[in-house]
Structures are given as C-alpha cells and as structure tokens.
Amino acid sequence: MATFVIRMRPLLSLLAFALAGLSACGGTASHTRMEDPATLLAERDEWRGERSGPVALRMHIEALVDTRPDASKATSALVVHLAVAQFAEQAKPWRGEIDQKFGAQPAPIPITFPVPRGARFTTSEVRFVATTNTPAALVSAPISTPGERSNDGVDADQDVVALTLPAPPEGGVVEAILRFEVAGTLASDARWMGLVGMPVGELLLRYDLATDTVGTFQTTLPNARPIVTEKDGRRLIALLATNLAPITPSASAPYARYVTVRASPKGFDQTFSSDWSHTTAAYRARVLDISAALEDGYEVPYRPVGSGRPQVLDALAWVRGRPLRADPVVRWDATHALPLALAKNDITTVDRTHLLHWVLREAGIAHTLVMARNGSRPRLDAAFPVTGVFDAPLIYISDLGLVLDAACDDCAPGEVRPSLRGGQALALPVAAGTKSATFIALPIESSP
C-alpha cells in the first residue's frame, strides 16, 4: 500500500482547510459541534452505501499539541467528534398495546478507536438529531464511559477505547463529542483510517501546533488529502479522507501516524522524533542502561563454558529454569535488581531477558538487546522515526542469526511468542543521528 508523508509547511492550502469546516480560535482546538441537524439528516438520506447497521457520517479527531519549556507540565488535548446514523430494518410491528409495549428498539452503537497511551477520558456530550418527519431537537443523554481497553482484533500503537453510544431515534442520527487529556506533549499519535465494523463517510485527523513546533504526518491510505495551513496563530496539519470502508481485524488496515518532531517553546529546544536515537531513548534507558547497572558488583550466578550455539542454548535453559513470581507478566520497562529477585524467586518475564543478557555478557558471548514490535501491527517505515512503538525486549545472537525470547516457555530457540511473530525489532543502542533504522525481521516459525 502506498505511503506518503507531509511535513508542516505554512500556507500550502488555505482553501483546502476552509473546506474542512473547522477552525482554531485563540490557540485552542475547536470544540464546536458539527453541521446543523438538517445537514446531518441530509447526509444520512443521501448515503449511497450499505443501509444496514451503523454508519459514521462524520468522524473528526482534533488534537491540540501543547508544548512548554518543561514538557512535563504540558497537557495536550484530544477531541473525537462523531455523527452516526443507524440503518436497521425494524421488526414488523405488533398490533395495538403489544406493539407499544414490545416494539423493536434500535440497538446501541459500538465504537472502537485508538487514543494515545495515558490519555484520560474527561467529558462527553451527546445529542440526537430527530427524523425528518419531526422538528429537529437536541436531547441530553448519558454516554457510557470508555471501558476496558482492548485491541478488538485490530492492533494499534496505543490504547484502544471501546465505547457504546446510545441508539438514535428510528431513522435519526446520534452525535457525540468525547474529550481526552494527554499528559505532556503529544509526541506520537497513531490510528486506523476508519472504524472497526462500520463505514465512515468523512474522516478528518487534525493537529494544532504551536508556531515553533514541527510535526509530520504519514498515512498508508493512498487517497487521503493533506491539509496544511496556519490559522489564528497556530499551525494546522491534517488529513481528510472520505468514503472509507469498515475496518476488519487485519494487519493491513489503513493507517495514519502523526509525530511531533521538535518544538522550541520560549527558546527551549525539545527533540522528540528527529532521529531513531531520540525515539528509542526511553528503551535505551529502561532496558539497556538499567540492565547493565542492575548486576553491578555481583557475581554472575551462571557462566557457560564456551561461546558457541550449545553454550547459548544452555544459558537460555538455565534462565528459563529460574522460578517465576506468581504474576510474572509485566510491562517491558518493569525492571528491578536481579540478584535480589533471584534470591527471592521473584523473577518476571522481563527479568528473564535481562538475566540472559547478564549471563551472556559475562560469558563473553556476542549478542544484542533488541526491542520487538508486535507482528499484527502495521509495518514501521525505517525512514520515519517515531516513539513508543516497541513492545518487548529480546536477545539477538547475530553470529548465529538467532532470536531468543526468554520470556516464552513454549518458544524453541529462534522462535518468539505468537504476538511477536512476523514483527520487527530494533537493536539497542541506536547511533545518534540515525535517520533510517535497520530492522531485524522476527521469525514467523522456529529456526532450524
């Protein structure tokens, strides 16, 4: 699938942005509602696609990228604005009182979409647009708070919110505005171009940037329309797409990614995604640097004799033989002192990788710590540095072409856990200034 990238350049398309129908006032993201009820009802009536189930007539996602000299004090914002019609063949009505009591009702509308990790759901607004046979009316109604985050069969680089909208009146439209807060500067945002299970008539992804900020967009949707301009003292960068098919659980779902490359609030230069060294700084600090320091001053508990494949496999077997804690599965960055963990039989799945790194290092066996990315996620572009896209540390023996997943008991040497199969990995550390990464292809099946 084709990929194109747009980087913030002012005044490229004022007309294009005006056609999108949004504005930014006073340096804040627009939180205005969509078109008036008559317009939404007209779009529903003119819908040319499948007239069964829910259809997103409009989906506008607006983000305000906040930057501060102290990035930790920034609070970015995300507003998801939906207008959804539900086309459903109602059951034939029963007679009289039975019909009034048991008549068929429209089903609630499920919506699933990604938000940046750490985003906090704050407020929601819902209104119903009545049918064309009655006057348009605004009705206040509660919306379910986003529940447990799951990937719903389509993987993303961030959390996925599952949410349920109330059903509109028969033949009507329900409109919702959802607001999220994102702590810090929004350095990376990625999402599917569309919605799971329903078509989208119009999708707008928009990011409002301070004038001293550079942002970049990438999408795998070939017919998305780039919009870049300046408005009310802000730089605006966006993608507009129309007539999107429903997304089905697939790694090839159309995808878009925004990154903040750099910012200079009040002259304080900040770098986020200028190269792969910057984007992997957190991985390097939490995986490579901490792993090297955890065992300082302690004797390695196991040392294989030799440096060939048999010694590597012996080390892997020894590591997997250490007792695990009761709840061993943790985040990739949940590291702690290995000597103490070994003494208390308090080893986690991530500790196993650090322990294998320690044993191999002390035995003089050449190897590399790598960060792996789930195989079901969209492929990374080597020339498009981005933060927060890797999921688990692994060991790579380049001389043997062998990947070792110490956290996976069922994985043979050269095999990785199911979620990582066919994925990508990046060796740490990445040299400063690396603009184009060299990824290691993770195996789909075990190595011979």
pLDDT mean over 227-256: 86
pLDDT mean over 76-88: 89
Share the mean pLDDT of the chain.
81
Residue 152 predicted with pLDDT over 70 = no
The DSSP line for 53-74 is EEEEEEEEEEEE----SSGGG-
Residue 22 predicted with pLDDT over 50 = no
Exposure string of 372-392, with b = 16+ CB inside 10 Å and e = fewer, is bbbbbbbbbeeebbbbbbbbb
* Nearest to 221, CA basis, from 248, 203, 198, 196: 203
As a whole-number percent, the residues of the chain with pLDDT over 70 amount to 80
Residues 61, 189: Cα–Cα separation, whole Å: 11
pLDDT mean over 101-111: 68
Residues 317, 350: Cα–Cα separation, whole Å: 16
396 neighbors 424 (Cβ within 8 angstroms): no
As a whole-number percent, the residues of the chain with pLDDT over 90 amount to 41
pLDDT mean over 189-218: 92
193 neighbors 72 (Cβ within 8 angstroms): no
> Which residue ranges make up each domain of the chain?
4-273, 279-441
* Strand stretches in 35-119, DSSP E: 53-64, 75-87, 109-115
Output the CATH code of domain 4-273: 2.60.40.3140
Could you tell me which residue, 47 or 172, shows the higher pLDDT? Answer: 47
The per-residue pLDDT for range 367-415, each reduced to its tens digit, is 999 999 998 888 899 999 999 899 999 999 999 999 999 999 999 999 9
The per-residue pLDDT for range 59-80, each reduced to its tens digit, is 999 999 999 999 889 999 999 9
Structure confidence at residue 110 (pLDDT): 84
Q: What is the DSSP letter of 267?
A: G
Strands 200-209 and 53-64: parallel
Residue 19 predicted with pLDDT over 70 = no
Cβ neighbours around 243 below 10 Å, total = 12
The per-residue pLDDT for range 23-49, each reduced to its tens digit, is 233 333 344 567 788 888 889 889 988
Structure confidence at residue 25 (pLDDT): 31
Under the banding of pLDDT at 50, 70 and 90, the label for residue 81 is very high
Structure confidence at residue 27 (pLDDT): 33
* Strand stretches in 220-365, DSSP E: 225-231, 234-244, 255-263, 270-271
Output the CATH code of domain 279-441: 3.10.620
Backbone angles phi, psi at 30, to 5 degrees: -70, 130
The per-residue pLDDT for range 271-330, each reduced to its tens digit, is 999 899 999 998 998 888 877 777 667 888 888 888 889 999 999 999 999 988 888 888
Domains 4-273 and 279-441 belong to one CATH topology: no
Structure confidence at residue 80 (pLDDT): 92
pLDDT mean over 7-20: 33
Map 183-216 to HEC letters: EECCCEEEEECCEECECEEEEEEEEEECCCEEEE
Residue 149 predicted with pLDDT over 70 = no
Under the banding of pLDDT at 50, 70 and 90, the label for residue 341 is confident
